[in-house]
Amino acid sequence: MKTPDYPLVIIGAGAAGLGASVKAAELGIPHLVLEASHRTGGRGLTEFLENGVPVDLGCHWMHCARQNPFVPLAEQLEFEYERSNPVHQAFVNGAWGEGATAAARNAYLESVETAACNAYHSGKRVSIWDCMEQESPHCGWASYWLSLMHSNDPDQVSVSDMAEFDDTHEDWPLRQGYGALISANGEKCPVRLNTPVVEINWRSDQVRIVLSDSEIATNKVLVTVSTGVLGAGDIKFTPVLPVWKQRAIQDLPLGNYNNLFFPLTPGALLDAPGAIGYAKDDVFAAIRVRPFGDDYVFVTIAGRFAWWLEKQGENAASQWFEDVLAEIFGDSVRKELGRFRASAWGFDPWIKGAYSSTVPGSVEPRKVLARPVDQKLFFAGEATSLREFNTAHGAWKSGQDAVQAL
């Protein structure tokens, strides 16, 4: 048998892969990170609007701030962040809502959380939707909010994801971008870009990683790609993965979530509320105006609506957002908007969605997904985190923990 090229190969340079690589370096483990795309960061991606303002197309808020390792890393690198969760001023069917609307929406959401946790602790694995008072006037807004948390709609998500998530309710946005922060922390990692892994052959003692033009031999491989990529079979496993592992992948499908942006002419919308909870008939959206005082506006959409709008294409998405802003601020706002920019995670070939959620009826798929196969194949990534799934810090920690364990 030939000597392995590396004792450890990490597949994917998102938060989990970079976290794993940093830990491997700390432990003195020689390794290589293989990344399919032209950049690091995965679902962390910061780009610039035409006016030079950095925006996050992927993750943006440092959730669970008190236990989030990116908070001290942001301090070290002097990234500016906000320590607040804004109240969204309601704009419902063409009119500003009463001050009480936001409080009532929050109270309803809390009641859903309590019902979901009760169901979970009594052994039920029903959907979150099953725990919602569906006649309530706040049901639509709450469904939208839950779709942001899970990226699937509440009827597609098990109560376990609501009950098990360790939420400290601190969501701190980064001015220079979370994607930029993640990539900066992986700057020294040995990443080979533009290198999609085609096959992982784990038949013999050594694992062979097959690329389009060559092979790499290793003792252990840490797979951090999304469950969207795994579920699509984009990486061939030889022999195929055990049925229990395939089942866990199927039980953690990705939903969708996109951020849509317009740069603003300098000083526009200065007097607007900073956060708006928009609702029109069955469409809901959270809009942020001039975050950090910068000249831009953005909206987040998720679940089935995000899949639908992404399929319509960028022009349709731009028109939809422009019309929403004109409905709120009047037609004159149209001339304050610069070149539209939006993420499109559903059709990103290396991700295939936003983040994972547990299908109703499934029992502990995250634990099963995280379990190694044959002490050669190891798994990390947001979907494997037991209490901090769907997040960048959960992904980072999952990579670090996997390397520590192996």
Ligand X SMILES: Cc1cc2nc3c(=O)[nH]c(=O)nc-3n(C[C@H](O)[C@H](O)[C@H](O)COP(=O)(O)OP(=O)(O)OC[C@H]3O[C@@H](n4cnc5c(N)ncnc54)[C@H](O)[C@@H]3O)c2cc1C
Contact between 197 and ligand X per CB under 6 A: yes
Q: Which of 55, 59, 317, 402 is close enough to bind ligand X by CB under 6 A? A: 59
If one asks whether residue 381 binds ligand X (CB under 6 A), the answer comes out as yes
Phi, psi of 25 (to 5 degrees): -65, -45
Is residue 273 involved in binding ligand X (CB under 6 A)?
no
**Dist. CA 210–CA 224, nearest whole Å:** 16
Applying CB under 6 A, the span of 36-44, 262-270, 281-289, 321-329 interacting with ligand X comes to 36-44
Question: Per CB under 6 A, which region of 8-16, 23-31, 121-129, 135-143 contacts ligand X?
Answer: 8-16
**Smallest separation, CB 311 to ligand X (Å):** 16
We find the least distance from the C-beta atom of residue 12 to ligand X, in angstroms, to be 3
Name which position in 224, 318, 357, 400 contacts ligand X (CB under 6 A). Answer: 224
d(C-alpha 386, C-alpha 192), whole Å: 29
Q: Is the peptide bond before 69 cis (omega within 30 degrees of 0)?
A: no
The answer to the question of residue 403 lying near ligand X (CB under 6 A) is no
Residue 32: CB minimum distance to ligand X, A: 11
The count of residues interacting with ligand X (CB under 6 A) is 43
Using CB under 6 A as the binding rule, whether residue 390 contacts ligand X is answered as yes
| Residue among 9, 16, 264, 286 that touches ligand X (CB under 6 A) | 16
For tokens 């790499």, the residue is 216
Contacts with 318 (C-beta within 8 Å, 6 or more apart), sequence order: 260, 340, 342
Q: Could you say whether residue 14 binds ligand X (CB under 6 A)?
A: yes
Query: For ligand X, which is the closer residue by CB, 185 or 224?
Result: 224
Stated as kind and residue range, the H or E segment containing 395 is helix 392-405
Interacting span for ligand X (CB under 6 A) from 85-93, 100-108, 124-132, 220-228: 220-228
Nearest to 336 by CA among 304, 292, 379, 289: 289
Q: 């209490």: which residue's tokens?
A: 387
**CB of 31 or CB of 60, closer to ligand X:** 60
Whose CA is closest to 197, among 224, 174, 171? 224
**How, if at all, do strands 215-223 and 207-210 pair?**
antiparallel
Q: Which runs of consecutive H residues, i.e. helices, occur in 60-206?
A: 70-76, 100-121, 139-150, 159-164, 178-185
Chain contacts with ligand X (rule: CB under 6 A):
11-17, 34-37, 42-44, 58-61, 63, 196-197, 224-226, 229, 234-235, 257-259, 343, 345, 350-351, 354-355, 381-382, 390-393, 395
